[in-house]
Structure 1
Amino acid sequence: MKTLRDPANALAKGLAAIRTEFDVPEAFPPAALAEAERVAQRVPDGHADWTALPFVTLDPASATDLDQAFCIEAAGGALILHYAIADVAWFVDEGGALDSEAWRRGETLYLPDGRAGLYPPMLAERAASLLPDGPRPAVVFTVRVAGDGAVAMDAVTRAVIRSRAKLAYSTVQEADLPAGFAELSARIAAAEAARGAARVDPPEQELARDKDGALMLAFRERHASEDRNAALSLACNMAVADLLQAHRTGLFRVMAEPDDAAERRLRLTAQGLGIDWPDQATLTQFERTLDPRDTRHAALMLAIRRAGNGASYRPWRADETPWHAAVAAPYAHATAPLRRLADRYVIQAALAVGNGRAVPDGVSAAFDRLPKVMARAGALAGRIDRAVIDMAEAVMLAGCEGRTFDAVVTDIGERGASIQLADMPVTARIDAAGLTPGDPVRVRLTSADPSRRAIAFEIAGAPVS
């Protein structure tokens, strides 16, 4: 996992081809843009005034679509998290041009060279974003976090807030953050460990230019502040899920555990990468030992994410208990409405039941429609991510034809044997004749074509011991 310099401009050309192939939207329809300009001028009506509270945001330095702001206060042995979420429903009229386009898109699509947003930038990056340049409408979830990390929703309030600072993962200092931030995050992490939860957060690819102006593909460093911030979002989403379950409504994020076959393949991948996975350690226990700053560990974290059964959305049903295996608890998405369509409706439901009102009929009806829409959007995002990775692998290996690599067989399927290179975060397929999962092999690169996003290997002999 390394920086890829791109003197031939293959990355830029490849990304442009991916955008065309997957029909990534480049612009919004005129009607949606006109509506966005109009609703961006709306003045909050009926929102409580919470501008005196010292909210801050914490995101990547370049982010401008800021969904979340937070402040923390102590209450005896508990910590109170006021988690403000952009009030997208205040701006978006059901059935309007913005709403229709959001249902068509489903979620923001991210590519290394830029994103295709769920909403126009004038909303997502300005009027609705919780930037520190003026008051913004928000829905504030007030979550009580006990000493053992247990969470409970105290209140859901539609309010106007004012962020005091736009903090960045890469530069934030402890003194910039609210008192209690580290303690609250530690409580959530301890509760996760007690539940047996296992969230996998591998590093993300990003495209940048070096000092000579050449494009390069790198993996963004994950900072400790980012992991702590994720704990706040987790606490809020779990509290929202509990609130909705108690009122027999909602839309939940669910995921089953990886099956035994997937875990066996992952053990082989770890072996191929030279990472020790003790026989007695479960996948959950093992995941907690991985460090995304180690390139081999980061590659394995990506493999673990791909090996999961996949998360999906499910509306509340009387005969089902929604469960998310990675969280080891019921879980809902409510904290990124500028980037995910479903969150807007979950927030509206929580706002209603949290204040003793019935969930609007349109929101309840949306819960039945959203799983299919979000699955389609998620599948598209997944295909784009895979295409970017395939392209990056091909660029990484271009010019190395004829070179041999140590690898391990991780799986045998209808399309051949899956292999994992020992020195690079590269997976590929080869002819499966005579191979079984776990076999060490030495392979020769026969082709690497960035334009087709394709690489090919052949057996070259036994691995070097």
Structure 2
Amino acid sequence: MKAIHDPGRVLAQGLADIRTQFAVPQGFPPEVLAAAEAAAARKPTDHADRTAVPFVTLDPTSSTDLDQAFAIEEAGPDLLLRYAIADVAWFVADGDAVDIEAWKRGETLYLPDGKAGLYPPVLAERAASLLPDGPRPAIVFAVRIGPDGAARLDGVERAMIRSRAKLGYATVRTQDLPPAFPELARRVRAAESARGAVRVDPPQQEVVALGHDRFALAWRPMRGAEEDNAALSLACNLAVARALLAHRTGLFRVMAGPDDRAIARLRQTARALSLPWPDALDLKAFERTLDAQDPAHAAFMTAIRRAGSGAGYAPWTPGVEPWHAAIAALYVHATAPLRRLADRFVIRAAFALANGLPVPEAVTAAFQRLPEAMARADAIAARIDRAAIDLAETVMLHGREGETFTAVVTDMDGTSARVQLEGLPIVARTRAPDAQPGQRLALRLDRADPARRTLSFIPA
């Protein structure tokens, strides 16, 4: 759960209730654990020896389910990214107990107080995780990044790798990373800008104590190493997407941009946050002016993320372009197979095609089933995220009942007004039959109920 961090466990009881409400799995069935233990003992036999390549991982410091390791070298004017991805398919076979359970889950569910994994820990946090405590089997993508930032897939192989270091976003030093790491990220960002892409990565919200049972939501922006690391995954996923499309197969990540109504609502949200958004500037151009270090900008970035129609998955279909509006390109998910079911099958297809093999029938069939399975998993994850944010908001405002807040109407639905509180990253609804979008309202907090995760405002 990337939206809320709760180091003081202020939200503990509420999070327990969320787990119960959404039936978040607690552990795995015995037969799945037994199958995972047996799979973890499987010795790699089809893997080239790439243990001499100086791979490292870069993740949140506490992470143990490490999907990716990387090494970067110069290749003339290009940069060659060797991107090692956990070889989950080596351990999980189609139709086995672990695979069946993974199809039920779809993805790892994250909450501020822990996660419910897609795969049992013996695989996700040990045998398949690219930890630096010994050789691990991986699928290594060779991705060539040109001076203009364009990414091309040079090859895909099964290999044994040995990570040199488990680096953390909060503690990594420049000298720990490959020398070309920042240049590669710069090239990828330049290519994004050239094609008009804008990826919105809102900072994390953190519950902080103010004393006397008062709490607030503060923003923790993404660190530079975190943003640069995301560029590596982006480059690899773009290169894989082009390769799959060229062979008329694949499972693509697709997303439409915000519609006119959503953009109008965003303009009112910007007004509520006192962000000057010139009428002549479109949303993408305005997004490029945002600074995640600024709390108001951070709140608006979160609003943008919520404003879109949502991303989904689509198999290759003749005559249909699988477009991702935010990335402004063809895009796939292939770099987090320990956390997303779909990635395992995209990786298998890319490996087959890069090595002159037919895509397995089981993979092609999975591409047809995965959109529904992933949509179901994404919906549950989104509802859990929303519930956790609602909980944090009610905890933050609990005890402030009776106070008056200024809010801006961002949208109307009959007599119900959707409002953005000024200066706070909180969206709520109130009855306001005569309100108009853009209008400022004085609202009194009538109730902040952490048990029900609800806020109630009435006209002051």
Give the whole-Å Cα distance in 1 for the aligned partners of 2:70 and 2:325.
27
C-alpha distance in structure 2 between counterparts of 1:400 and 1:209, whole Å: 15
CA gap of 1:339–1:203, structure 2 versus 1, over 3 A, is same
1:37 match: 37
Aligned residue in 2 for 1:311:
311
1:391 corresponds to 2:429: no
In 2, the alpha carbon distance for the partners of 1:254 and 1:45 equals 36
Distance of 1:206 and 1:35 partners within structure 2? 38
Would the aligned equivalents of 2:56 and 2:166 in 1 still touch at CA under 8 Å? yes
Contact 1:59 1:167 in 2 (8 A): yes
Q: Give the secondary structure class of the aligned counterpart of 2:428.
A: strand
Letter of the 1:12 partner, please give it: A
Letter in 2 for 1:271: R
Mapped to 1, the partners of 2:281 and 2:235 lie a distance apart of 27
In structure 2, the residue matched to 1:121 is: 121
Matches within 5 A, 1:380-419: 380-414=380-414, 416-419=416-419
State the shift of 1:42 in Å.
1.3
Q: 1:159 to 1:5 in 2, by over 3 A?
A: closer
TM superposition shift of 1:27: 1.0
Whole-angstrom distance in 2 between the partners of 1:415 and 1:386 = 24
> Which moves more between the two structures, 272-281 or 251-260?
272-281
Give, as a single letter, the amino acid of the residue that structure 1 aligns with 2:237.
Answer: N
Q: Which residue of 1 aligns with 2:279?
A: 279
Is 2:183 aligned against 1:177? no
Q: Which amino acid aligns with 2:192?
A: E
Aligned length: 456
Give CA-to-partner distance per residue, 1:383-429, whole Å, 9 cap, x none: 00111111111101001011001110000014610000012111111
Task: After superposing the two structures, state which structure 1 stretch, 287-296 or 78-87, moved more.
Answer: 287-296
Partner of 2:258: 258
TM-score (norm 1): 0.95
Does structure 2 conserve the Cα–Cα contact (< 8 Å) formed by 1:409 and 1:435? yes
- What amino acid sits opposite 2:277 in the alignment? W
* Structure 1 residue aligned with 2:454: 454
Give the conservation status (yes or no) of the 8 Å contact 1:419–1:428.
Answer: yes
Identity over aligned residues, as a percent?
62
Residues 4, 104 of structure 1: CA spacing in aligned structure 2 closer, same or farther, 3 A cutoff?
closer
The 3-state SS of whatever aligns with 1:140 is: strand
Note the C-alpha offset of 1:286: 1.2
Q: 1:245 to 1:3 in 2, by over 3 A?
A: closer
1:145 aligned to 2:145? yes
Partner of 1:463: none
The 2-side partners of 1:181 and 1:267 are apart by: 37
Give secondary structure in 2 for the equivalent of 1:93.
Answer: coil
Amino acid at match of 2:177: L
Residue 100 of structure 2: aligned partner: 100
Contact 1:11 1:215 in 2 (8 A): no
Answer yes or no: is the 8 Å Cα contact 2:4–2:388 preserved in 1.
no
**Shift in CA distance, 280/75, structure 1 to aligned 2, threshold 3 Å:** same
Cα separation, 1, equivalents of 2:104 and 2:158: 27
Q: Distance in 2 between matches of 1:35 and 1:154?
A: 35
Return closer, same or farther for 1:438/1:229 CA change in 2, 3 Å cut-off: same
Alignment check: 8 A CA contact 1:251 1:367 kept: yes
Task: Read off the aligned partner of 1:99 and give its amino acid letter.
Answer: D
Instruction: Tell me what 2:246 maps to.
Output: 246
Amino acid at match of 2:333: H
Corresponding residue for 1:198? 198
Matching residue's letter, 2:248: R
Local SS of the residue matching 1:83: strand
Within the alignment, does 1:160 sit opposite 2:160 as a pair? yes
Q: Which amino acid aligns with 1:283?
A: L
Q: Is the contact made by 1:3 and 1:217 (CA closer than 8 Å) also made in structure 2?
A: no
How far does residue 217 in structure 1 lie from its aligned partner after superposition? Answer: 7.0
CA contact (8 A) 2:5 2:112 kept: no
Question: What residue is the counterpart of 2:68 in the other structure?
Answer: 68
**Match for residue 373 of structure 2?**
373
Aligned equivalents of 2:197 and 2:237: distance in 1? 15
Q: Which residue is equivalent to 1:21?
A: 21
Amino acid at match of 1:197: A
- Contact 2:215–2:396 (8 Å) recurs in 1: no
Give the match's secondary structure for 1:28.
Answer: coil
The DSSP-based 3-state class of the residue aligned with 1:148 is coil
Q: 1:69 to 1:3 in 2, by over 3 A?
A: closer
Structure 2 unaligned runs (5+)?
Answer: none
Instruction: Kindly state the Cα deviation for residue 86 of structure 1 after the two structures are TM-superposed.
Output: 0.2
Give matches, 1:419-458, under 5 Å.
Answer: 419-458=419-458
Distance in 2, matches of 1:34 and 1:188, equals 43
Structure 1 runs of 4+ aligned residues shifted over 2 Å read 1-6, 204-211, 214-221
User: Are the counterparts in 1 of residues 6 and 207 from structure 2 also a CA contact under 8 Å?
Assistant: no
Q: Is the 8 A contact 2:205 2:220 kept in 1?
A: yes
Query: 2:209 & 2:432 partners in 1: Cα distance?
Result: 40
Task: Note the alpha carbon deviations across 1:11-37, whole angstroms, 9 max, x for none.
Answer: 111000000000000010101100111
Aligned to 2:292: 292
Structure-1 residue corresponding to 2:48: 48
Deviations 1:201-235 (Å, cap 9, x if unpaired)? 11234679999xx9997654410110000000000
Residue identity matched to 1:79:
L
1:25-61 superposed Cα distances (whole Å, 9 cap, x missing partner): 0010101100111111111111011000000000010
- Which residue is equivalent to 1:339? 339
Displacement of 1:276 in angstroms is 1.4
Which letter does structure 1 place at the counterpart of 2:267? Answer: R
Q: Secondary structure, in 3 states, of the residue corresponding to 1:80?
A: strand
Give the residue type in structure 1 aligned to 2:381.
A
Length-normalised TM-score, structure 2: 0.96
- Give the conservation status (yes or no) of the 8 Å contact 2:144–2:153: yes
| One-letter amino acid matched to 1:393 | E
